[in-house]
Chain A
Amino acid sequence: MNYIIDRRLNSKNKSTVNRQRFLRRYRKHIQKAVSDAVSKRSITDIDKGEKIGIPAKDISEPIFHHGKGGHSTGVLPGNKDFVAGDKIARPPSNGGQGGQGPGASDQGEGMDDFVFQITQDEFLDFMFEGLELPNLVKRQLAGDEEFKMRRAGISNEGSPGRINIVRSLRSANARRLALTGGKRKKLKKLVEQLQSEQEKDNALKDQRFIEKLSDEIEYIKKRMKRVPWLDDFDLKYNLHVKQPLPRSKAVMFCLMDVSGSMNQATKEMAKRFFILLYLFLQRSYQHTEVVFIRHHTSAKEVDEQEFFYSRETGGTIVSSALKLMSKVLDDRYPAGEWNIYGAQASDGDNWNDDSSVCSELLINKLLPKLQYFSYIEITPRDHQALWEEYEVVQANHPDGFAMQQIVEASDIYPVFRELFHKKVA
């Protein structure tokens, strides 16, 4: 007896567990490949999946086997012109036979890397693994985004699909009882009278009285029947209400210096940093907004395009950006509802007497509302007044403020990891 079974609809990801085991085992390799990839990628495809290569020797499963050398015989097919007794030169080490001919060294150990693809999700997992957003996550009941339907008792109105049958019939029953109460009482009395009348001796029976009673009973019964069994206002409906789901929201402020001293390369680096931060926030919060603020001597809120690509020149007053940020916060992002993150990128130039204003602004106005503020200085040169002022801020607010220096594009990811690495409580 043979069976033919269609298994195509069965789950096809039988190997998922094994695949995850594999990723788990080679975590370190993958982590390294991911971090290399992040530095190399262009900004637009920073969050795609990635091809991961692991050296074959790291991944091999060793077994006992024969090594090179010794005496072996073999049988090969496709003889063309050999006859017994022929001697041929040993081919350069391709078959794993003996000899260490010159020139074989390149290929000798040239086992290819074991290459495989990880998905975008896995890539991001590895990219942000071990990182966490500092400080608490505020969840906010925002009334307009996502809802869940929740039962909220019984109502008198609703769509036919929601009828609650038990409740409806129960209320119909009550109504019928209420509406017929007086009549039933009367009926009971009449029936009793009729009975006692009928039990009397035939001689004493008042036939007309009996007839009258009977008529009246008939009449009341008819009246009672006329009470509707189910009336419109008996109908009860299950009531569902929309309830807003608590969601976490975050806003990220990108602050960048666009003064003359910032060239395109520096801006590009800042942009990479902002994108990393944005991706990271997106993973942690369901809803993330970004505010771009650029500044030279005065600050301006701009859109992304303008933020990264328009050119400005002039001096630098960093505090202008912080002031604007504070204003935008007050106007649009009440600290009670939003998780607020700030990221500032600059090359460290500032009017000398402005730096102290900046630190004051940060300490007094911004940091109390912010979850985290990170400052990166993109410069190969020595630090200036701003950095020194900020160092003081950091010393006072080690939880909410962090700063790092970036010299080359390849520093960005390590610095990013440094800024957000998981702190052991």
Chain B
Amino acid sequence: MTNPANSLLTNTPISTDSEWTFELIDAYDKAIAGIAKEYRLDTYPNQIEVINSEQMMDAYASVGMPLGYNHWSYGKQFLNIEQSYSRGQMGLAYEIVINANPCIAYLMEENSMTMQALVIAHACYGHNSFFKGNYLFRTWTDADSIIDYLLFAKNYISECEQRYGLDEVENLIDSCHALMNYGVDRYKRPYPLSAAQEKQRQREREEQLQKQVNDLWRTIPTHAQDEHVSEPIRFPPEPEENLLYFVEKNAPLLEPWQREIVRIVRKIAQYFYPQRQTQVMNEGWATFWHYTLLNTLFDRGLVTDGFMLEFLQSHSGVIFQPAYDNPNYNGINPYTLGFTMMSDIRRICESPTEEDKHWFPDIAGSDWLETLHFAMRNFKDESFILQYLSPKVMRDLKLFCIDDDDQKREIEITAIHDDSGYQKVREALSRHYNLSIREPNIQVHSVDVRGDRSLTLHHIQHERKPLGEQTDEVLLHLHRLWGFDVHIYSIQDDKVSADFHCPKTEEPSQEASAIIPMA
């Protein structure tokens, strides 16, 4: 207050009360938007929707989709949330934000004015600009058409329910959900469509697809090729990692509408895929900006000390990281890691130490805003950490690296936050966010096209990690979609280490005899 520069600013606080009104939300939004613009945050238009806690639970239950098709699993989610909320075990999030154009942000009516401002800064300017800027979202999601697509999906599925029965559709969606994580393309770029186009194309697709499938499974030999038939046909020619895509295009027995539903689930999985890959960055970016934006508001005298106290308390709650041995420890808090790294990048740019100059010669002392925007646009969690996790952050969070090998009796601490460990910790943490390591690597290997039509998948084991105990159940679902036998072989170092079959096969004696000689 004694700073003469401050006294020059004659701004009065936007509000002094903790109650919010629509006018105040608007006023805060305008103020924050102004500052966001100075920081060059490029956003979709915002659609701020005030909702009550019950609606928030609804929004939660539908995994953040503003309109989702109906399925029992969302009901389960809802009951779960309702139960924990009513018992007071869980607070609801202050906001939910949807990657769409305009970007939809839900604010809870229970929030105080401070919280509303925090949420606006966090969701409407933080997440929003991330959705618009990050390369993964730009490549893989289409904010303009997602709402349209969800609407199309909802209507299509409810139409199917009426035509083919609830159970039929529910079972199909169950099976698709089981494989949802394996319904994403990692390399091919999908193209955006509007709802009308989507509907049009859906009809064409139905016919087209069925034709192709029929072709593949044609059993009448064409006479010109008679000589070549004896040659084994390799299908698919290349392994396919998008299981749902493979099912949609090639499953022999699916009806056209079933293929369309498989496709819907696949598309939605694809839409959420970038969010799963950028959790740390996305939350870190949004947290960094709500912190920066609100502090700027304060510097300009637009908010009161009380506002700042409430904000800081909530902010420090969000970025709290319990230690590994704390009973509340539940993995690394993405808000903490993201926020700390984002702030650290700014620090490295503004006041680099000798260490920073050594580790980050290219960004130390550069324009922080430019560097931060560049980082936001061009990385995902895995590469972001590999690129920007600095020794200081590792020291601050006291990160250490463990090595857990089931062939050894003890867990070994392989590296800690010291000179010899920085590199290792950084690599290990980056690997931790690599989805292709976190999830088993399963690919379609072959289909016995001319034989029993069985589908064979290969699980390429990573570090000897086996498949979990739910594999058989998932296989049942895949079997339902494929319609014929399904096999999975876990492969480690060119040897089959485990196999799963559906339906559970025949000849247990043979399996047993295969195990005995090995023992």
Contact = CB atoms under 8 A, between A and B. Distances in A.
A73 B428 contact: yes
Given A8-B51, A77-B332, A87 B412 contact: yes
A381 B470 CA distance: 51
A70 B464 contact: yes
Nearest to A117: B83
Nearest to B414: A84
Contacts of A82: 400, 413, 416
A70 B404 CA distance: 8
A49 to B, nearest CB: 12
B391 to A, nearest CB: 14
A227 interface: no
A67 interface: yes
Contacts of B380: none
Interface string B8-48: 00000000000000100110010001000000000001111
B477 A62 contact: yes
B152 interface: no
Contacts of A88: 410-411, 413
Contact of B70 (A4, A18, A64, A114): A18
A348 B223 CA distance: 85
Given A2-B48, A15-B75, A73-B428, A61 B466 contact: no
Nearest to B332: A77
Interface stretch (B132-140, B176-184, B203-211, B444-452): B176-184
Contact of A21 (B70, B418, B420, B431): B70
Contacts of B438: 66
Nearest to A21: B72
A66 to B, nearest CB: 5
B465 A66 contact: yes
B354 to A, nearest CB: 23
Interface residues of B, number: 100
A284 to B, nearest CB: 27
B399 A64 contact: no
Contacts, number: 259
A78 interface: yes
Interface stretch (B306-314, B320-328, B371-379): B320-328
A148 B227 CA distance: 84
B48 A84 contact: no
Interface in B114-171: 124, 166, 170
A65 interface: yes
B263 interface: no
A178 interface: no
B75 A70 contact: no
A74 B440 contact: no
Contacts of A62: 178, 470-471, 473-474, 477
A237 to B, nearest CB: 47
A12 B79 contact: no
Contacts of A114: 76, 79-80
B59 to A, nearest CB: 8
B323 A116 contact: no
A17 B68 CA distance: 11
A116 B412 CA distance: 42
B325 A78 contact: yes
Interface stretch (A22-30, A131-139, A200-208, A250-258): A22-30
A5 interface: yes
B346 to A, nearest CB: 21
A22 B79 contact: yes
Contact of B463 (A4, A71, A76, A116): A71
Given A62-B477, A73-B402, A75-B332, A6 B22 contact: yes
B108 to A, nearest CB: 10
A286 interface: no
A87 B463 contact: no
Nearest to B22: A4
Contacts of B29: 2, 4
A5 B103 CA distance: 13
Given A18-B74, A62-B178, A71 B406 contact: yes
B375 to A, nearest CB: 20
B487 to A, nearest CB: 14
A185 interface: no
B76 to A, nearest CB: 5
Which of B29, B76, B417, B477 has the largest count of A CB atoms less than 10 A from its CB?
B76
B287 interface: no
A22 B406 contact: no
Given A67-B465, A72-B463, A90-B411, A22 B400 contact: no
Given A114-B80, A116-B82, A21 B55 contact: no
B428 A64 contact: no
Nearest to A77: B397
Contacts of A19: 75, 78-79
Given A62-B477, A83-B416, A116-B82, A76 B470 contact: no
A64 B409 contact: no
B421 A84 contact: yes
Given A62-B470, A66-B466, A84 B182 contact: no
Interface string A88-123: 111000000111000000000000001111000000
B401 A75 contact: yes
B411 A4 contact: no
Nearest to B102: A3
Contacts of B71: 18, 21
Contacts of A117: 79, 82-83, 86
A84 B398 CA distance: 13
A239 to B, nearest CB: 45
A359 to B, nearest CB: 48
B54 interface: yes
Most chain A CB within 10 A, of B49, B182, B322, B464, is at B49
A15 B425 contact: no
A14 interface: yes
Q: 5 shortest A-B CB distances, which residue pairs? A: A78-B323, A22-B75, A70-B465, A18-B75, A62-B473
Given A61-B178, A63-B179, A65-B440, 5 more contacts: A18-B74, A61-B177, A67-B471, A76-B402, A84-B416
Interface of A: 1-8, 10, 12-15, 17-25, 59-80, 82-90, 97-99, 114-117
